[in-house]
């Protein structure tokens, strides 16, 4: 984590290992089938970005109890994983974290109910932390769901499509990542001023995280995912929304390609080549970089130390994913 501080790095690794084991414990149920289905996506791995933020923020002040750090982290990850079970039903996705999605492996009913089960496990854990944690978890869940509904409904007439997209990303992705950073601060007893700064930082780095993903989908052949997935699905993201808004007649062909789902692989390859060579892709990267710097600036009110340095370093790591 922080290669300059082995003790801090060891502490973070120890917490993440403990959280990993406790996540699988939380997925246990009364029948082997529910246990298997509920641990399916957890066992498949994942970046554990939300637990990492909880752990890092919990180290801003001394004295956070390991057990409370772990519980706060698993609430965030279980909520995230639960939402993925539902998301894959809504998106009719067959693969998640390189394994069959729950809906593909079993069916939609199993996937929805197992998502509910995991959310109930998150709820019983958050109840052990205190009412202020329950309240934040509930507000976050409300935002996440409304972000998903806004995505599904699309922009209202007259609303700029890029602004709509950025609002959806902030609500459906940024909100839970913001809550993760706040949870970490709450566990170590941070002041309201620090908690608010952590919330703003978390939300912004969450948006950066998603925007980087959008660029990787276009620019990277080595991401471990197939490039052009958004183009095939006809999903507009930061770079393609910028192209769609361009009035340059030279962009007419690319505007056409990004305006519809592409089923012809030759068209996907053409769109990818045009996008990769387009100055707007660099402009999208610059925008992601500026947003990462804005996230980093939110850390100013935090107490100096290794935890703050590690949170700042995440800003670079999240951006360098896009290159
Ligand atoms: C990722 O979006 C998915 C989400 C942000 C969650 C959507 C799900 C809900 C609002 C339901 C929540 C329900 C419970 C029980 C917590 P994506 O499709 O853009 O990302 P992907 O590429 O990872 O599929
Ligand atoms: Mg999805
Ligand atoms: Mg989705």
159 three-class SS: coil
Residue nearest atom 3 of ligand 1, based on CA coordinates: 87
Ligand nearest to the CA of 230: 1
Mutate to test the pocket of ligand 1, among 87, 119, 122, 214 (most ligand atoms within 8 A of CB): 87
Q: Mean pLDDT for the chain?
A: 94
**From the CA of 82, how far away is ligand 1's center (Å)?**
8
* pLDDT in the model for residue 224: 61
- CA atoms of 313 and 49, how far apart (whole Å): 13
Q: From the CB of residue 51, how many other CB atoms can be counted at a distance below 10 Å? A: 28
Shortest-distance atom of ligand 1 to CA 82:
16
Nearest to 306 by CA among 16, 61, 50: 61
Q: Which domains does the chain have, with CATH numbers?
A: 7-190 (1.10.600.10), 192-322 (1.10.600.10)
* pLDDT in the model for residue 322: 47
**From the CA of 88, how far away is ligand 2's center (Å)?**
5
Residue nearest atom 16 of ligand 1, based on CA coordinates: 83
> Angle at CA 34, nearest 5°, toward 32 and 40?
100
**From the CA of 176, how far away is ligand 1's center (Å)?**
11
**From the CA of 264, how far away is ligand 3's center (Å)?**
23
**Which segments in the chain show pLDDT lower than 70?**
1-4, 222-225, 322-323
- CA atoms of 87 and 50, how far apart (whole Å): 18
Q: Is the complex ipTM higher than 0.90?
A: yes
* pLDDT in the model for residue 213: 87
- Helix (H) or strand (E) run with residue 283 in it: helix 279-297
* pLDDT in the model for residue 223: 63
128-138: per-residue pLDDT in tens?
Answer: 999 999 999 99
Beta strands in the chain (DSSP E): 95-96, 99-100
**From the CA of 71, how far away is ligand 1's center (Å)?**
22
Residue nearest atom 13 of ligand 1, based on CA coordinates: 83
Q: Which residues contact 21 (CB under 8 A, 6 or more apart)?
A: none
Let me know: does 212 contact 288? Beta carbons within 8 Å: yes
- Please provide the size of the chain in residues: 323
The pTM of this model reads 0.93
């Amino acid at each position: 984590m922080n290669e300059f501080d082995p003790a801090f790095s060891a502490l973070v690794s120890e917490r993440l290992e403990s959280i990993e084991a406790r996540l699988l414990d939380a997925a246990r149920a009364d029948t082997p089938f529910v246990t298997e289905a509920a641990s399916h996506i957890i066992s498949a791995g994942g970046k554990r970005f939300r637990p990492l933020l909880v752990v890092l923020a919990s180290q801003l002040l001394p004295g956070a109890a390991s057990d409370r750090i772990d519980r706060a982290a698993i609430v965030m990850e279980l909520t995230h994983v639960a939402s993925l079970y539902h998301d894959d039903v809504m998106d009719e996705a067959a693969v998640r974290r390189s394994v069959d999605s729950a809906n593909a492996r079993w069916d939609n009913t199993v996937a929805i109910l197992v998502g509910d089960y995991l959310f109930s496990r998150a709820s019983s854990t958050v109840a052990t932390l205190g009412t202020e944690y329950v309240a934040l978890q509930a507000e976050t869940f409300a935002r996440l769901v409304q972000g998903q509904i806004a995505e599904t409904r699309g922009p209202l007439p007259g609303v700029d499509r890029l602004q709509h997209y950025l609002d959806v990303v902030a609500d459906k992705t940024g909100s839970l990542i913001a809550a993760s950073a706040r949870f970490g601060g709450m566990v170590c007893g941070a002041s309201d001023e620090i908690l608010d700064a952590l919330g703003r930082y978390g939300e912004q780095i969450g948006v950066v995280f998603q925007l980087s993903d959008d660029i990787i989908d276009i620019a990277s052949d080595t991401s471990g995912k197939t490039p052009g997935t958004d183009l095939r699905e006809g999903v507009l993201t930061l770079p393609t929304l910028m192209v769609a808004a361009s009035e340059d007649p030279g962009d007419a062909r690319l505007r056409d390609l990004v305006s519809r789902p592409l089923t012809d692989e030759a068209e996907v390859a053409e769109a990818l080549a045009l996008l990769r060579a387009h100055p707007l892709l660099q402009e999208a990267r610059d925008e992601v970089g500026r947003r990462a710097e804005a996230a980093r600036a939110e850390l100013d009110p935090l107490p100096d130390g290794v935890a703050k340095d590690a949170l700042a370093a995440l800003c670079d790591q999240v951006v360098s994913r896009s290159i």
